[in-house]
């Protein structure tokens, strides 16, 4: 099957690519281009991260640079190697390759030394106030903050206390190290930002060696600098951090003339999607509280969730390409993600037959015990994908919704007295049905026209409807899982109610009694399937040849657009 349908590359450059192109043309950074993707290993990657990945890796790829993977592991409270492993797996699945793998924790000594230097130069001090007190003194954007009573303490005192912060003797929160910058600066990030705090937890890489850990703003830019990053690309919420990013690098470079050789930060808009959340804290809560079936629940916006749901990496990249990169935050429509998936899966999926709500159809004039092999096209979008055979017989399963006893005029499916085509097989005329006492249809009867087999002369007769079917003796039972939006409201993050209350109670429907043609039983060349007339499906990770389980990736049409 077609496993690699590359999305068409855009002819024009996005605004960050334009900056990179200009810098390279100007010979900045000696013509080097180095980016990084800097996840904190405190959760699984989601589709928002995929957008950042496509940017960080994509721009390096496009201009012959290198993108490294750097784990921003400066907070041992929430970090874990499980997350490190999943992040690597997801990046590779998305189709990107990193140059090196780095960890911010590799720089703990260098960062410590730098902090000590700042203390010695009178540019940092240990503050023994509580975090509440410090927050109260921050002021507002229009009102200067208040200086801490510890701001002008002797350098020797701060040095000794900083050592003590790392000794393990002090409780968390008892003191912090702050950069001594400017409590009146209109940029709040300059008002003596906290740069070190005490965390008495074991770190997933450095163990118990450290107790004082650098804050994001004191680790990120410096890590970029140590590694030789040229373009440090991140999301818009870091715009106000940029001056501080530059400040610490200026302090760090110590007289080196780095005007043309320093990392520079550029920002693009975050991805926000309707009917879901991107916050790792909330996603973790859904997992921990058992509200979903793990990080890779097919309803989750995580990369592994999308994978289990049946998205291809190309579909995810196509979506990122569709929404583009701007300097304005927006809420993107989930329907666009689904549209990208449909377009991608239409090109790559294997067409098979499955009946999700089965009712028996008996072809009464077809000899008992007789079978016929029919050709079914694997993918009409790609002839090279070939065909496979399906078996026709006297007893078939069709969809219950495809039959009506008293049908309106425009119902071109199975109706007593009317003709309909069975896909890849014959035209049949419905002759009636058998009902249970409560009115439930138990069996439907029809007669086939032997001259009308698909591909034969007689097949040219016009009938309006074509139905899918599977042969009862030649199909396999399967469980099919239909997924809907995880949340009931368009923007759960903007809602005042607790996000748990906003979950869609009907986001998962399990259909336990479905039938699929044998060819779909996991010996196919692809995991991307189209159940004809229904939608796109894939095998769930728990599916086995003995117990088939399929996840619906997306329906054939946008069923929400009409509502």
Residues in the site for ligand ATP, rule: CB under 6 A? 38-40, 42, 48-49, 51-52, 234-235, 270-271, 278, 280
Q: What is the DSSP letter of 147?
A: -
Q: By beta-carbon distance, which residue lies closest to ligand ATP?
A: 48
270 part of the active site: yes
Q: Which is it for strands 441-448 and 427-435: parallel, antiparallel or unpaired?
A: antiparallel
Given the complex with ligand ATP, which of 14 and 365 has the nearer CB atom?
A: 14
343 part of the active site: no
Angle, nearest 10°, between helix axes 242-253 and 216-227?
Answer: 60
Given the complex with ligand ATP, which of 266 and 392 has the nearer CB atom?
A: 266
Rg (C-alpha) for the chain, rounded Å, is 31
Count the residues in the chain. 563
Given the complex with ligand ATP, which of 51 and 205 has the nearer CB atom?
A: 51
Given the complex with ligand ATP, which of 40 and 405 has the nearer CB atom?
A: 40
Options 78, 117, 201, 270, the catalytic residue: 270
**From the CB of 270, what's the least distance to ligand ATP, in Å?**
4
CA 284 vs. chain centroid, Å, equals 14
Given the complex with ligand ATP, which of 248 and 426 has the nearer CB atom?
A: 248
d(CA 444, CA 496): 52
Contact between 350 and 379 (Cβ < 8 Å): yes
Given the complex with ligand ATP, which of 271 and 300 has the nearer CB atom?
A: 271
Given the complex with ligand ATP, which of 100 and 559 has the nearer CB atom?
A: 100
Given the complex with ligand ATP, which of 271 and 345 has the nearer CB atom?
A: 271
CA 257 vs. chain centroid, Å, equals 41
In degrees and rounded to multiples of 5, residue 352 shows phi and psi of -135, 170
Residue 372: other Cβ atoms inside 10 A = 14
What secondary structure does DSSP assign to 398-455, as a single string?
A: EEGGGB-SS--TT--SB-TT-EEEETTS-EEEEEEEEE-TTS-EEEEEEEE-GGG-TT
d(CA 513, CA 476): 10
> Any idea which residue has 């304005």 for tokens?
328
**From the CB of 110, what's the least distance to ligand ATP, in Å?**
21
**From the CB of 273, what's the least distance to ligand ATP, in Å?**
8
In degrees and rounded to multiples of 5, residue 172 shows phi and psi of -60, 140
**From the CB of 303, what's the least distance to ligand ATP, in Å?**
12
Given the complex with ligand ATP, which of 235 and 504 has the nearer CB atom?
A: 235
**From the CB of 277, what's the least distance to ligand ATP, in Å?**
10
Given the complex with ligand ATP, which of 101 and 160 has the nearer CB atom?
A: 101
Cα torsion for 346, 349, 351, 355, to the nearest 10°? -90
Q: What is the DSSP letter of 271?
A: P
d(CA 236, CA 330): 11
Options 40, 128, 251, 405, the catalytic residue: 40
CB hemisphere CA count around 254 (13 angstroms): 6
Secondary structure element (H or E) that encloses residue 111, with its range: helix 108-120
Structure tokens at 111: 């960062």
**From the CB of 104, what's the least distance to ligand ATP, in Å?**
11
Contact between 511 and 477 (Cβ < 8 Å): no
**From the CB of 227, what's the least distance to ligand ATP, in Å?**
15
**From the CB of 64, what's the least distance to ligand ATP, in Å?**
22
Options 28, 280, 348, 481, the catalytic residue: 280
d(CA 75, CA 54): 26
**From the CB of 517, what's the least distance to ligand ATP, in Å?**
40
Structure tokens at 367: 């000899």
What secondary structure does DSSP assign to 496-519, as a single string?
A: SS-GGGGB-TTSEEEEEEEEEEGG
Q: Which is it for strands 354-355 and 466-467: parallel, antiparallel or unpaired?
A: unpaired
Give which of 234, 221, 230 is closest to 267, Cα–Cα. Answer: 234
Structure tokens at 484: 């809907």
**From the CB of 285, what's the least distance to ligand ATP, in Å?**
13
Give me the residues paired with residue 479 across strands.
549
User: Which residues are designated catalytic?
Assistant: 40, 270, 280
């Amino acid at each position: 099957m077609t496993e690699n349908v590359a999305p068409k590359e855009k002819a024009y450059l996005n605004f960050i690519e334009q900056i990179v192109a200009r810098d390279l043309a100007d010979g900045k950074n000696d013509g080097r281009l180095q980016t990084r993707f800097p996840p904190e290993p405190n959760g699984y990657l989601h589709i928002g991260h995929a957008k950042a990945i496509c940017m960080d890796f994509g721009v390096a790829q496009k201009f012959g640079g290198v993108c490294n993977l750097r784990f921003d592991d400066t907070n041992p409270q929430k970090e874990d190697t499980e997350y490190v492993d999943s992040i690597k797996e997801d990046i590779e699945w998305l189709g990107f390759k990193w140059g090196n793998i780095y960890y911010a924790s590799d720089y703990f000594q260098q960062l410590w030394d730098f902090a000590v230097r700042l203390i010695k130069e009178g540019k940092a001090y240990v503050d023994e106030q509580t975090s509440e007190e410090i927050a109260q003194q921050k002021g507002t954007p229009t009102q200067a903050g208040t200086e801490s009573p510890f701001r002008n303490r002797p350098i020797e005192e701060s040095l000794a206390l900083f050592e003590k912060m790392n000794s393990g003797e002090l409780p968390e929160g008892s003191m912090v190290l702050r950069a001594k910058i400017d409590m009146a600066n209109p940029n709040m990030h300059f008002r003596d930002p906290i740069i070190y705090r005490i965390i008495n937890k074991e770190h997933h890489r450095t163990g118990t060696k450290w107790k004082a850990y650098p804050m994001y703003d004191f680790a990120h830019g410096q890590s970029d600098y140590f590694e030789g990053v040229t373009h440090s690309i991140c999301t818009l919420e870091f715009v106000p951090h940029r001056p501080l990013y530059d400040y610490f690098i200026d302090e760090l470079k110590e007289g080196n003339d780095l005007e043309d050789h320093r990392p520079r930060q550029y920002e693009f808009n975050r991805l926000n999607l309707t009917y879901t959340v991107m916050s790792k804290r909330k996603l973790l809560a859904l997992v921990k509280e058992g509200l979903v079936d793990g990080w890779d629940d097919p309803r989750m916006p995580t990369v592994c969730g999308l994978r289990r749901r049946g998205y291809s990496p190309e579909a995810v990249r196509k979506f990122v390409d569709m929404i583009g990169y701007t300097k304005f935050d927006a809420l993107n429509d989930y329907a666009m993600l689904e549209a990208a998936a449909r377009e991608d899966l239409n090109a790559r999926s294997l067409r098979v037959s499955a009946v999700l709500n089965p009712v028996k159809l008996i072809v009464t004039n077809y000899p008992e015990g007789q079978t016929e092999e029919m050709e079914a096209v694997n993918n009409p979008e790609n002839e090279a994908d070939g065909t496979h055979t399906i078996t026709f017989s006297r007893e078939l399963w069709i969809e219950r919704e495809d039959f009506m006893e008293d049908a309106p005029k425009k119902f071109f499916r199975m109706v007593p007295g009317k003709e309909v085509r069975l896909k890849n097989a014959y035209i049949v005329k419905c002759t009636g049905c058998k009902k249970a006492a409560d009115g439930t249809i138990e069996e439907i009867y029809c007669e086939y026209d032997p001259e009308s087999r698909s591909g034969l002369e007689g097949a040219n007769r016009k009938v309006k409807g074509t139905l899918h079917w599977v042969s009862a003796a030649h199909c396999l039972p399967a469980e099919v899982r239909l997924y809907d939006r995880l949340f009931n409201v368009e923007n759960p993050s903007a809602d005042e109610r607790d996000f748990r209350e906003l979950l869609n109670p009907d986001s998962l429907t399990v259909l336990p009694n479905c039938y699929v043609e044998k060819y779909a039983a996991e010996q196919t060349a692809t995991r991307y399937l189209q159940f004809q007339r229904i939608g796109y499906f894939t095998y769930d990770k728990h599916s086995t040849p003995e117990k088939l389980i399929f996840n619906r990736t997306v329906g054939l049409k946008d069923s929400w657009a009409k509502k």
